[in-house]
Amino acid sequence: MKEDFLHYVWKFQKFDVCGFLTTNNEKFHIRNNGSHNLNSGPDFFNSQIELDGQLWAGNVEIHIKSSDWYAHGHETDPAYDNVILHVVWEHDAEVFRNDGSKIPTFVIKEHVPKSTLEHYKKLFSKDKKWINCETDFESVDDFIIENWLERVFFERLQKKESQLLKELEDSQNHWESLLFRMLCKNFGLKVNGDSFFSIAKSLDFSVVKKCSQERQDLEAILMGQAGLLEGENEDWYFKTLKSQYEYLKHKFNLQNENVITPKFFRLRPPNFPTLRLAQFAMLYFERDNLFSKVIAVQDVKDFYELFNIYGSDYWDTHYNFGISSLERKKRITKSFVDLLIINTIIPLKFCYAVQQGRDISEELLNLASKISSEENTIVKKFNSLRHTSKNAYQSQALLQLKDEYCDNNKCLQCAVGNLIIGSEKEKRKN
C-alpha cells in the first residue's frame, strides 16, 4: 500500500460515501474533497467537511498510518495547523495540531471497495512487465486513450519548452539563434546530436549571419569548428575549405576546444556528418530569416518545400572528403524533414506561441497528425499491445507516457491506470 493510492481514492471519491464516522464516532459529510497539492504541505487544499452538523473548511492530510503524522514532523509544522481531517489506512495513534487540539481521523480502509483494491494490487504486482497495465491496455476504450495521448503530447511540449527557454536565455533571447542551435543539433540526429549542438554553440549567431552570405564560408566554418578540416588531405575541396576556415577562424577569433568531435562509425553515408553539415550550410545560405518562415508555415507540405535543400556540387559525388560516390543530388529527404518538424519545429513554435500569449494547440496537433508515426522500440511495443500510434503526435505522446508515467509507476496519475483501477464495467469497450 502506498500513499498515492490513498490520494487517488480520496481525489476521485473511490469509496462508499455514506455512514462516515471519525475514530471518535463523530459523524461527518464530505462537502468538497479539495484540490490535490503536488508540492510541499498538506495533500489537499480548500476542503470542506461537515462534522457533527458544523461546517469546517481547511486542508486534508493523508497517511498510511496515523503515526506517520509524527514520523513526518507535522505536529511542529505551522503549514499543517489548518488540517481539518486526517485520512488514514490504519489508525495507530491520535494526532494533534501545534496548539494541542486533536485532529479528526477518518479510517478509509473500511470504505474502499474490494474490487478497487484488487485492481490496484494487480496493476502493481511484482510480476515482470514492460508496463504495469500491459494485460489491460488493449481493452481500454479508444476515446480514453486518444484523449489521454493528446494531453500527454502537450505535456511533452511543455517539458521541451522549459529546456528551450533555458537555451533561449543562453542565446541572449535571440530566437533566430535558438532555431540555429536546435536545428543544428537535430541535423546530427541521435548519434551526432550532441556534437552538432556543441558546434552551433561554439559560434555567435552574428558570425553565422555574416558567413551565410557566402555558402562556402559557412560550410568552412561548420566543418572547421567540427574538427573535420584537421590533418592533411589531398582532396582539392578539403584544401579549399581548410584555407577559408583558417582565415575566418582568425578573423572572428573562433574557438572550438569544447566542440565534441562528430562520429562516422556505424552511420550510413547519407548521415555522415560531412554531408549533413554541408546541407545545413546550404539551408542557411538559401533561406534568409528562417525563424520567421518557420513560425509562419503551418502545413507539412510547405515545410517540405522550405527544407527542400541539397549540398553543394561537390557533394553530388561525395559523402566524405576525397572518397567518390555515384553522382546524385544529396537532397534532404521528407523523412528527415519529418524528424526536424517533430523534434525542432513543433517544440519551438509551441514555446514561441506561449511566450506571445497565443494558443496554437490545434495548429500543432494538425501538423503532427499529418506526419507518420515514428518507428522505435517503445512505439513498436505499444503497437504490439494495441495499434495505438498512427501519427507523430501519438508516437511523441507514447514516448512521454513511457518515460514519465510507466517507467515511474505513476499509474494513478495516468488516465489509463486510473480507469483500470476502476470497475471492470467502466474500463471495458462499449
Backbone angles phi, psi at 310, to 5 degrees: -140, 165
Banded pLDDT at 55 (limits 50, 70, 90): very high
Backbone angles phi, psi at 44, to 5 degrees: -135, 125
Same domain flag for 204 and 267: yes
**The pLDDT value given to residue 2:** 83
Same domain flag for 345 and 401: no
Question: Which DSSP string corresponds to 19-75?
Answer: S-B-TT--BEEEEE--EEP-SSS-SEEEEEEEETTEEEEEEEEEEEETTHHHHTTGG
**The pLDDT value given to residue 245:** 98
What residues have CB less than 8 Å from 192, skipping those under 6 apart? 262, 263, 273, 276
Domain that holds residue 306: 172-368
Banded pLDDT at 100 (limits 50, 70, 90): confident
Same domain flag for 177 and 290: yes
Kindly state whether residue 95 falls inside one of the protein's structural domains. Answer: yes
Give the residue-averaged pLDDT of 101-109: 92
Q: Helix, strand, coil % (nearest 5) of the chain?
A: 55, 10, 35
Do 180 and 387 contact (CB within 8 A), yes or no? no
Banded pLDDT at 370 (limits 50, 70, 90): very high
Rg (CA), the chain: 29
Give the residue-averaged pLDDT of 4-11: 90
Q: Provide the grid cell at 188.
A: 546530427
pTM given for the model: 0.82
Same domain flag for 80 and 43: yes
What are the distances in angstroms from CA 243 to CA 236, 249, 262, 282, 315? 11, 10, 21, 19, 19
Mean pLDDT taken over the chain: 93
Same domain flag for 107 and 188: no
Kindly state whether residue 164 falls inside one of the protein's structural domains. Answer: no
Give the residue-averaged pLDDT of 62-76: 93
Show which of 368, 390, 419 is a domain's final residue.
368
Backbone angles phi, psi at 50, to 5 degrees: -105, 115
User: Among the residues of 287-412, which ranges form H helices?
Assistant: 290-296, 300-306, 334-340, 346-356, 361-369, 377-385, 392-400
What is the chain's length?
Answer: 430
Kindly state whether residue 379 falls inside one of the protein's structural domains. Answer: yes
Kindly state whether residue 18 falls inside one of the protein's structural domains. Answer: yes
Same domain flag for 354 and 258: yes
**The pLDDT value given to residue 426:** 43
Same domain flag for 188 and 92: no
pLDDT at 405 over 90: yes
Span of 74-78, 91-95, 252-256, 328-332 with lowest mean pLDDT: 74-78
Kindly state whether residue 396 falls inside one of the protein's structural domains. Answer: yes
Same domain flag for 98 and 196: no
Same domain flag for 92 and 37: yes
Kindly state whether residue 416 falls inside one of the protein's structural domains. Answer: yes
pLDDT at 427 over 80: no
Same domain flag for 184 and 330: yes
pLDDT at 425 over 80: no
Same domain flag for 321 and 176: yes
Banded pLDDT at 428 (limits 50, 70, 90): very low
In the chain, how many domains are there? Answer: 3
Kindly state whether residue 129 falls inside one of the protein's structural domains. Answer: no
Banded pLDDT at 43 (limits 50, 70, 90): very high
Kindly state whether residue 281 falls inside one of the protein's structural domains. Answer: yes
Do 415 and 148 contact (CB within 8 A), yes or no? yes
Instruction: For 129-147, write each residue's pLDDT tens digit.
Output: 899 999 889 999 999 999 9
Give the residue-averaged pLDDT of 194-198: 98
Same domain flag for 319 and 236: yes
Give the residue-averaged pLDDT of 215-232: 97
Do 416 and 144 contact (CB within 8 A), yes or no? yes
